[in-house]
Amino acid sequence: MARLIETNTEPMRSVDVDVVTLDLVENALRNARYEMDEVLFRTALSPGIREQHDEFPLIANHEGKMMVGQFGLSIPDFLDNFDGTIEEGDVLLTSDPYSCGAAISHANDWLVVIPIFFEGRIVGWSAMFGHMSDVGGKSPASMPTDARTIFEEGVVIPPFRLYKAGVLDDDALRIILNQVRKPDWNRADLNGIVAACRTAARRVQELCARFGVDTYNSALDALLERNYRAMKVLLAMVFEEGRTLEFTDYICDDGLGYGPYELKLSLTRTGDKVLLDFTGSSPQAQGPINYYINENLVRMFFGIYMITVADPQILWNDGFYPLVDVEIPDDSFWKPTYPAALNARNHGIGRVFDLFGGLLGQTNPDLLNAAGFSSSPHFMYSGNYGEGDRKGEWFQLYSIGFGGIPGRPIGDGPDGHSLWPSFVNIPCEYLESYYPLRVERWETVTDTGGAGLHRGGNAVEVAYRFLEAGTIAIHDDRWLTYPWGVNGGEPGARSRKWLDRADGTSEVLGSKVHDVPVQPGDLLHFVTWGGGGWGDPLARDPELVSLEVRRGLVSAEGSRRYGVVCDEAGTVDADATTALREELGRDRPSPLPTFDMGPSLETILEKSLEETGLPAPRPPIVR
C-alpha cells in the first residue's frame, strides 16, 4: 500500500456545483486528455506509438477514479500494490502486470503514473501507458509466440519511482534500457509519456486555480454521480430482472498448438446491480495468449458499450462502477497464475469487443453489431542489413494491421479499418523509406466481408517483399473460428498468411509464429479477416450490390450470396435475381437466427487442414 506524503492535510470540502461549471470541467478534462495524446504522438520514436498510436491516457480524481480516458487502468490497484512513499514530483513506472493488479496486461506496456499536487495536496492522478516495440527477451519485439512464462518476455519493471521528487533515477533507467534492443525508442517514448502526464497535471492544476480545489473536486464527484445515475437508469431499462444472458466466443489457438479456447461471459441484473461473470471460460493457456484482466477494466468496457450510444458527448468515468459486480475465476484465461506468459493478450482484448457486443446486443438492438475485427494483428520484421552503407545495422519493425469493421445497425462496416480508437496504419512509403522491404499490395480483399443487409467490412491484404534476410513474427487469430454475423447476416472470411519464397515454393504460416527466417525476394501475404454481416442479405438493394461489384468490393460470384445475379460489370439480371432470392429464401427459418457462427466447431476442426492448410489445434489442457 502506497503512503502518500502531502504537506497540506486539510480535507477537501464538498460544495454545490452548478450544471454549467460541471460541463466546463468536463470539457476541460476532455481537452487535457486529447492533449496527452498529441504530446506523445508528436515526440515518440517507435512506429507503434508514433505512427499507430498504441497508447492510452487517463486522468483520475484524487482517489484514483478515472475521470477521463479511453482504456482505464486501475490506479487504486496500482497504489495498493506499491510499497513505498509517494510525494510531489514523483513519477512512477511499471511494466509488471502481476504487480499492479493487471492495470496493464503485458510487459510491453510501460505504465507511467504521476500524482497531481495542488497547494500541497493530491488533487488527482494522470497516467498513460504505451506499447514499447521491444522490451528485450528472446525474440525481437519481445512477444515470443511459444512463451510459457513471463520470464521469456523481456524486462519486467516492478512499480518504482522513476523520478523521486523531480529527480530522475538514472541508474535504474540505464539498467532497464540495457535489456532492450532499441533503447533510443524506449527512451524517447518514455520521455513522451512522462511529458504527456505532466501536461495533464498542469491542466488539472490550472482548473484547481480557476475554480478552487473544492469546486473542482466536487465537480468531479458530480460527474461520477452523473455516470452512476445514467447507468442505473440504463441498466433497469435494458436488462430484465433475474434473466441471465450468455455469450461464448473463441480464441483459435495459443501459439503452442492448443485450442480453441472458450471465452464465456454472462450477465444477470439483480435490483440496481448487474453481475458480469466469466465463469466457464477456459483455464489458463499454455501459451502467451492469457489476458489477465482487471475487474475495473471489465466495468469500463461494459460502460462504454452502454453509454456511448445514449449520450455520445458524455465523458464516461468510473462513477458507475459500484453498479457492476465482476466475477473472474482464478487460474483461468482471464486470471492466470504468476508467472504465466502474457505477451499475446491482444487477441483476448479484441475478443472482449465481440463478447460484449454479442452479449448486450441480445437485448438492445442499438448495440447489436456483428463480430468485427476483434484483435490487433501484429507483424514484425527484423535483422541486420547485409550490405550497403548500413551494413551490419539492426532494423526492427513492429506494426499493427487492420481488417473489416462488422455490419452495424447504422450501416455497412468500413473496409480495412480499425476497431481501436485513434489507431492508424503505417504508410507504405514510410515503411519503404525506413525498412528493407517493398509493399506490393495493400488492398481489401473482395468478398471477405460477411453478407448482410449491411455488409461486413472487407479484410486487408498487405503483401511484403523482403529485401534483406531476417526473421519475421506474426500475431493473429480468427484463422479457425469465424467472425460471426447477426440478425440473418453471414460470417466474414477468416484470416490467412502465406509466404511465396524467392525459390518458387510457397508455405502457409500459422497465425502465431516468430523467428521465421526470410530471404531477400520472399513475399509474405498477410491477410486479416472480414467483419460479419448484419441483417438479411436478401434484403440488400441489388443496385448497391451492383455498385460494389463495380467497385471490386464484392465479386459477381459473391453477389449471389445476396441473391443477386449480375455480371462482372455489375449489370443486374432482375428476373434471375428475383428467382434466386425466392429460391434462397424458401427454406430459411423465420425469424432468421440472431447469430450465425458458421459451421459447428466439430466441422471446423475436422476440415481445418483441408480449408486452412493448418492442422487443427489440440484441445487445451489444464496444467
Q: What residues between 294 and 323 interact with other proteins by CB under 8 A?
A: 301, 304-305, 308-314
Q: Which is nearer to other proteins, 151 or 430 (CB)?
A: 430
Q: Which is nearer to other proteins, 372 or 620 (CB)?
A: 372
* 413 in Cβ contact with 454 (< 8 Å): yes
By CB under 8 A, how many residues form the interface with other proteins? Answer: 91
φ, ψ of residue 181 in degrees (nearest 5): -80, -25
Q: Which range binds other proteins by CB under 8 A, 24-32, 123-131, 153-161, 478-486?
A: 24-32
- Rounded least distance, CB 275 to other proteins, Å: 21
* 290 in Cβ contact with 328 (< 8 Å): no
Chain positions 113 to 172 lying near other proteins, rule: CB under 8 A, are: none
- Rounded least distance, CB 135 to other proteins, Å: 18
User: Can you tell me the distance from the alpha carbon of 448 to that of 478, in angstroms, rounded to the nearest whole number?
Assistant: 13
Chain positions 371 to 400 lying near other proteins, rule: CB under 8 A, are: 372
Which sign does the torsion angle of CA 440, 444, 446, 447 carry? positive
Q: Which is nearer to other proteins, 185 or 562 (CB)?
A: 185
Q: Which range binds other proteins by CB under 8 A, 335-343, 366-374, 506-514, 532-540?
A: 366-374
Q: Which is nearer to other proteins, 332 or 425 (CB)?
A: 425
Chain positions 205 to 264 lying near other proteins, rule: CB under 8 A, are: 226-227, 229-230, 233-234
Q: Which is nearer to other proteins, 87 or 443 (CB)?
A: 443
Among 41, 110, 258, 292, binds other proteins (CB under 8 A): 41
Reduce the secondary structure of 221-284 to three states and give it as a string: HHHHHHHHHHHHHHHHHHCCECCEEEEEEEECCCCCCECCEEEEEEEEEECCEEEEECCCCCEC
φ, ψ of residue 57 in degrees (nearest 5): -100, 165
Chain positions 404 to 423 lying near other proteins, rule: CB under 8 A, are: 405, 408-411, 414-423
Q: Which is nearer to other proteins, 165 or 579 (CB)?
A: 165
Chain positions 4 to 23 lying near other proteins, rule: CB under 8 A, are: 18-20, 22-23
- Rounded least distance, CB 501 to other proteins, Å: 19
Residue 201 CB partners (closer than 8 Å, separation 6+): 114, 116, 124, 126
Q: Can residue 200 be called a binding residue for other proteins (CB under 8 A)? A: no
The amino acid occupying position 272 is: D
User: Can you tell me the distance from the alpha carbon of 191 to that of 187, in angstroms, rounded to the nearest whole number?
Assistant: 6
Chain positions 535 to 564 lying near other proteins, rule: CB under 8 A, are: 547, 550-553
User: Counting every residue, how long is the chain?
Assistant: 623
Q: Which is nearer to other proteins, 43 or 594 (CB)?
A: 43
Strand partners, 485: 596
- Rounded least distance, CB 366 to other proteins, Å: 8
Q: Which is nearer to other proteins, 196 or 473 (CB)?
A: 196
- Rounded least distance, CB 520 to other proteins, Å: 14
User: Can you tell me the distance from the alpha carbon of 86 to that of 444, in angstroms, rounded to the nearest whole number?
Assistant: 50
Cβ–Cβ contacts within 10 Å for residue 551, how many? Answer: 11
Residue written as grid cell 498468411: 497
